[in-house]
Chain A
Amino acid sequence: MRIIRNSNLCYACKTCQLACSFHHTKTFWPERSSITVSRNPQDGTIKWRMNATCDKCIDEEEPLCVKYCMYGALQISDKNADKQEVKDND
Chain B
Amino acid sequence: MIKTGNIKGCLAGKILRIDLSNKKIWTEETKSYAEKTLGGRGINSLIMINEIEPRVKWYDRENLLCFGVGALVGTMAPGACRVDISTINVFSGGKGSANVGGFWGPELKYAGFDNLIIVGKSKKPVYLYINDDKVEIRDADFIWGKNTFETEDILRQEIGDDNIKIALIGPAGENRVRGSAIMIDTAKAAAGSGVGCVMGDKRLKAIVVRGHKKIEVAEPERFMKIVSKCYQKCKNNPNKEAWRKSPLNFYADPEWKEWTTSIVVRNGQDDYWEKEKRIELMNPKTGIPSMGKKIRACYCCPIGCMPFMKIDNGKYKGTQGEGLWVNAIWGHACRFDISNPQAIVKAWLLTNELGLDGDYVAAGLSWVFELYEKGIITKKDTDGLELDWGNSEALIKMIKKLAYREGIGDLLADGMVEAAKKIGRNSGYYLIQVKGQPSIESFRVPKGWALAVSTSPIAGRHLRGATFGSDDCGPKPRPGKFNVTDYQNQASGVVWQGKTKEIEDNLGICSYVGTWFGANFLDIEDFVELINTGMGLNLTEEELMDYYAVIGRNLEKAFNALHTNMSREDDLPPKRFREEEVKSGPYKGFKIDENRYNEMLDEFYELWGWDKKTGMQTKTSLEKLGMKDIAKKLLKKDKLVI
> A residues within 8 Å of B by Cβ?
11-15, 18-19, 21-22, 25-32, 36, 38-39, 41-44, 47, 67-68, 70-71
Contacts and interface: CB of A to CB of B under 8 A. Distances in A.
Interface string B262-303: 000000000000000000000000000000011111111111
A28 B231 contact: no
Interface stretch (B212-220, B428-436, B476-484, B599-607): B212-220
Contacts of B110: 29-31
Interface string B136-160: 0000000000000100110000000
Contact of A42 (B152, B220, B235, B302): B152
Q: Which 7 A-B pairs have the closest CB atoms?
A: A29-B214, A13-B297, A11-B297, A70-B302, A44-B308, A27-B214, A41-B185
Contacts of A29: 110, 213-215
B322 interface: yes
Given A19-B76, A41-B186, A14 B213 contact: no
B530 to A, nearest CB: 13
B76 A28 contact: yes
A47 B228 CA distance: 26
21 contacts: A12-B296, A13-B297, A13-B298, A13-B299, A13-B300, A13-B301, A13-B304, A21-B214, A22-B224, A25-B214, A26-B221, A27-B215, A28-B214, A29-B215, A30-B110, A41-B186, A42-B153, A42-B320, A44-B293, A67-B228, A70-B231
A25 B152 CA distance: 32
B330 interface: no
Nearest to A30: B110
B327 to A, nearest CB: 19
B209 interface: no
B162 interface: yes
A49 B153 CA distance: 22
Given A11-B297, A26-B220, 14 more contacts: A12-B296, A12-B297, A13-B304, A18-B76, A19-B76, A22-B224, A27-B217, A28-B215, A41-B152, A41-B296, A44-B322, A47-B162, A70-B235, A71-B304
A19 B220 CA distance: 12
B234 interface: yes
A39 B492 CA distance: 42
Contacts of A42: 149, 152-153, 186, 320-322
From B149, B212, B214, name the one whose CB has the most chain A CB atoms within 10 angstroms: B214
B320 A43 contact: yes
Contacts of A14: 103, 299-300
A38 B103 CA distance: 10
B187 interface: yes
Contact of A11 (B185, B228, B296): B296
Nearest to B183: A41
Contacts of A13: 297-302, 304
A29 B213 CA distance: 6
A27 B220 contact: yes
B234 A70 contact: yes
Contacts of A70: 231, 234-235, 302-304
Interface in B100-114: 103, 110
Contacts of B152: 41-42
B538 interface: no
A32 B215 CA distance: 12
Nearest to A39: B296
Nearest to A27: B214
Contacts of A36: 163
Contacts of B231: 68, 70
A15 B215 contact: no
Nearest to A70: B302
Interface string B437-475: 000000000000000000000000000000000000000
Given A19-B76, A38-B163, A31 B295 contact: no
Contacts of B103: 14
Nearest to B534: A28
B153 A27 contact: no
